[in-house]
Structure 1
Amino acid sequence: MKSYLDLLRTRGVARIMSAQLLARFPNGMLSLAYLIHIEHIAHSYGAAGLVLAATSIGQAVAGPLTSRWMGAWGMRKVLILTISVCTVTIGTIALAPALPVPIYMVLGLISGLSTPPVQPAVRTIYPKMVNSTQLTPLFSLDASAQEVIWVAGPVITTFVATQISTVVAILVALVFLVGGGLWFVLSPEVGRVRIPRSRRALGAVLAKPPVLLATVTGFLLIGACSAIEAGVVSAFGEKSAESGIVLAIFSLGSLAGGLLLGHVPIGPWALARRIFIVFAGMALAAASVNVWWLAATLLIAGVGIAPALAVMFGIVSSSVRFSETAEAYGWVGTGQLIGAALGSAGAGFMIDRFAAPGAFWVAASLAFLGFVIPTIFRKAAPDLRGRDASPIPDTEPVQTQPS
């Protein structure tokens, strides 16, 4: 723990990590808030699902695109533009009188397209804030800390939406977006780092084996996690205390795993080993829907999640030029978003046919593939044991400027 405290004492690290977590907090709130809000208006979960699908498509398209724009226009300009557009569209969804579902779908698509690229931005900034030996632990700490989003976000949204109103629930998420986004944009570190303009075509970074490996594996890992969430809710009901407790333990397992394994050196087998922990826990979870069994097995599964994400961040960072880092992380994020959508959809289909255990079968299958792929293609993952995980320097000098 001392090393993590030392990291947080490093100039600007605690501030930039807190700001980006606050700015990204709506990621754990808006999907659920949209779901409840649109269902109340249209009286149809199918209609709400269409709006969520449109939002997810927008986010998936925006990931690599807006990340790349940061190299052309600068981080602050892109962040301010996306925050502004996203604020208007989310506010419209919350405050406009009842609209036809296709209009809500268009608004959802625009809000997804304008999702601020905070995560790619901060992943790009981190290597410029700490020395090479601190970078992997910092990625691990960040991956662990983001579990707060997925633990507290849905709880806040459910409480506000059911006890006050769905409009207020969306507006609370909007306050986090604007407040955290402005805090992040105004942080000195965002002004000091300039991403060089990438000279390669959009998507060319996917030709890098580590980036493609992280994108595909992230798709499978997050898809498995989404299927687990759907299965837990199906097993106990969306308003039951058991659902919240089990999912909180799942996230706390990830938090603990990230902190415990953050300093383990990243070798070619690191990603496969961490995802095997996830697979083992999810496979065991499929055996019973007893609340204590699920709590124990998903605690095991959670231990591998944040460490696996940290490995993905590390192998991507060490394998691309600094000018390509934001776009690379954008593609990784897009893979995770698609995985989340398809994992939830696949779980829903299996729940209709086989009840809650069907979702756990989907999750275990995706996690198994997530283990097999980095095992087969382990040579695509760089060996970072005793090696700097920072991005490859560009041939042109990277400028810094006063904030």
Structure 2
Amino acid sequence: MSRTAADTSAPSYLDLLRPQGIARLFLGSLIGRVSFGMMPVGVVLYVQQSTQSFYVAGMSMAAYSIGNVLAGPARSWISVRMGHSGALLLLSLLSGSALLLVVPLGQSDGPPWLLTALLAVAGCTVPPFGALMRVGWSRKLPEHWVSRAFGLDSVVEESTLIVGPLLAAGAVALSGAGLAVLFSGAVCVLGGLLMSSAAEKGHLASEKDKSAGRGQIWQVARETRWLLVVFVGVGFTLGAVEVVIPGFATETGHASLSGGLFATLALGSAFAALIYGRRDWKTSATTRLLVLSLLLAIGAALMATATGLSLAVPLLVLVGIAMGPAVMTAYLLADTLTEGAAAKTHGAILASVACNGGAGIGAAVAGVLIADLGVAQAFLISGLVTAAATGLGFALFLRDRKEAPRKTAEEIPAVDPVR
């Protein structure tokens, strides 16, 4: 698919949806990502109720998360080999069906390990809704419009993380946790079908790319390794915060306000990404990502000083202000540092894997830290880990630029002003 004709004007949000097929891609991506927000709530509650064990529920979610990360390169290869359309159709059917089977399996009183195995399958085959949406935009829009589109995508992602749990909670209240799991599986399939109907078809690696040796996943990983390291660090704090916030609310005697604190973080992140996409930035995307990652680390570390809501709320806003733009910029770099449909697909999916992998590690480490050292230390250490990953990523960036001159982030155009 080629980009639309060059246009030097700044796009409105409606303009971003005008290219052929983009509106269906966007709707499918939105619906599919709602499934990600619903799934944890429904699965944890349903598996615990079915097995009478939080241990099995935790292991099942761990299997889903680990499968999601480890199978990321395989999903990327499938997306290039089969084309986005075929990959979305296959993966959404596999992952959604696995979730749909969780309920009858739980009702049959089968061995608990089968539920864990089924959720591992669902995680391994989770469709890359967000990654392929971003590649679709990159392939269809003028280059200077892409950053605005990615800003909108960041807002959508944050929104689905709010809407998804709310829908799951409504389903649980209406008919129990089983309905939330079934709804999550059905929404995953529906999102995949919609995106598949508008996505690119066929093998994405062109003959030119093959002859030049471009578009291989290992090559993309090598060229973007500094970015992936920084993004793992960003993801670490994202995952840690999801565990530490409920711990903080409980420790300060405001357990019922956990949801409100999450909403504060998510709204700050979404609002910052929206405003960030409207600015005409003169600095390079690399510089912006490194600064935002450090700001995120500082915000998380400062949360260690919060002893009550009066300080915690503004600090969470600071974390959110850094979080949304940092994620947006990382995905933008994954796109602009790669050339060709195959390489862009690998870059987008590997970036998602890096963020999700970091989040999984961060959540696990935060849980241990809270139990052993307390909430304040968990916040502090998550900030230190993100700062360390940022430093390591920057060192790799300097090394790569010195060893092999190539297109660097300094060549990436600044975000264009928008209406």
TM-score tier (shorter): 0.7 to 0.9
CA contact (8 A) 2:265 2:316 kept: yes
User: Is 2:289 aligned against 1:271?
Assistant: yes
2:243 aligned partner, one-letter code: A
Q: Cα distance, 1:168 vs. partner? A: 0.7
Map 1:370-381 → 2, pairs under 5 A = 370-379=389-398
User: Is 2:74 aligned against 1:65?
Assistant: yes
**What's the CA shift string for 1:39-76, capped at 9, x where partnerless?**
22223222212111211122113222122222222222
1:332 aligned partner, one-letter code: A
Structure 1 pair 194–32 and aligned structure 2 pair: CA distance change class (3 A): same
Structure 1 pair 291–54 and aligned structure 2 pair: CA distance change class (3 A): same
More moved, 7-16 vs 64-73: 7-16
State how far apart, in whole Å, the 2-side matches of 1:254 and 1:74 are. Answer: 32
State how far apart, in whole Å, the 2-side matches of 1:359 and 1:138 are. Answer: 34
Question: How many residues matched?
Answer: 384
TM-score normalised by L of structure 2: 0.84
Q: For the aligned residues, what is the CA RMSD?
A: 2.6
State how far apart, in whole Å, the 2-side matches of 1:61 and 1:275 are. Answer: 24
Q: Cα distance, 1:378 vs. partner? A: 4.9
Give the match for residue 371 of structure 2: 352
Give the match for residue 299 of structure 2: 281
State how far apart, in whole Å, the 2-side matches of 1:304 and 1:55 are. Answer: 28
Q: Cα distance, 1:280 vs. partner? A: 2.5
Q: Cα distance, 1:191 vs. partner? A: 4.1
TM-score normalised by L of structure 1: 0.87
More moved, 239-248 vs 138-147: 239-248
Query: Any gaps of 5 or more consecutive residues in structure 2?
Result: 1-9, 402-407
Structure 1 pair 242–176 and aligned structure 2 pair: CA distance change class (3 A): same
User: Is 2:21 aligned against 1:16?
Assistant: no
Structure 1 pair 386–123 and aligned structure 2 pair: CA distance change class (3 A): closer
State how far apart, in whole Å, the 2-side matches of 1:337 and 1:205 are. Answer: 18
Give the match for residue 220 of structure 1: 233
State how far apart, in whole Å, the 2-side matches of 1:138 and 1:5 are. Answer: 8
User: Is 2:114 aligned against 1:106?
Assistant: no
CA contact (8 A) 1:82 1:115 kept: yes
State how far apart, in whole Å, the 2-side matches of 1:289 and 1:99 are. Answer: 46
Q: Cα distance, 1:90 vs. partner? A: 0.7
State how far apart, in whole Å, the 2-side matches of 1:350 and 1:184 are. Answer: 40
Map 1:139-178 → 2, pairs under 5 A = 139-161=150-172, 164-178=175-189
Give the match for residue 184 of structure 1: 195
User: Is 2:410 aligned against 1:383?
Assistant: yes
State how far apart, in whole Å, the 1-side matches of 2:413 and 2:45 are. Answer: 49
Give the match for residue 396 of structure 1: none
Structure 1 pair 237–172 and aligned structure 2 pair: CA distance change class (3 A): farther
**What's the CA shift string for 1:318-372, capped at 9, x where partnerless?**
2223121112222222222221211111111011123332331232223322443
Give the match for residue 366 of structure 1: 385
State how far apart, in whole Å, the 1-side matches of 2:41 and 2:315 are. Answer: 25
Q: Which of 273, 276, 294 is equivalent to 1:258?
A: 273
Give the match for residue 313 of structure 1: 331
Percent identical across equivalent pairs?
18
CA contact (8 A) 1:232 1:243 kept: yes
Structure 1 pair 311–266 and aligned structure 2 pair: CA distance change class (3 A): farther
CA contact (8 A) 2:172 2:180 kept: yes
State how far apart, in whole Å, the 1-side matches of 2:225 and 2:394 are. Answer: 14
CA contact (8 A) 1:144 1:255 kept: yes
State how far apart, in whole Å, the 1-side matches of 2:295 and 2:56 are. Answer: 37
More moved, 226-235 vs 196-205: 196-205
1:46 aligned partner, one-letter code: Y
Map 1:89-100 → 2, pairs under 5 A = 89-96=98-105, 97=107, 98-100=109-111
Q: Cα distance, 1:126 vs. partner? A: 1.2
Q: Cα distance, 1:15 vs. partner? A: 4.2
1:85 aligned partner, one-letter code: L
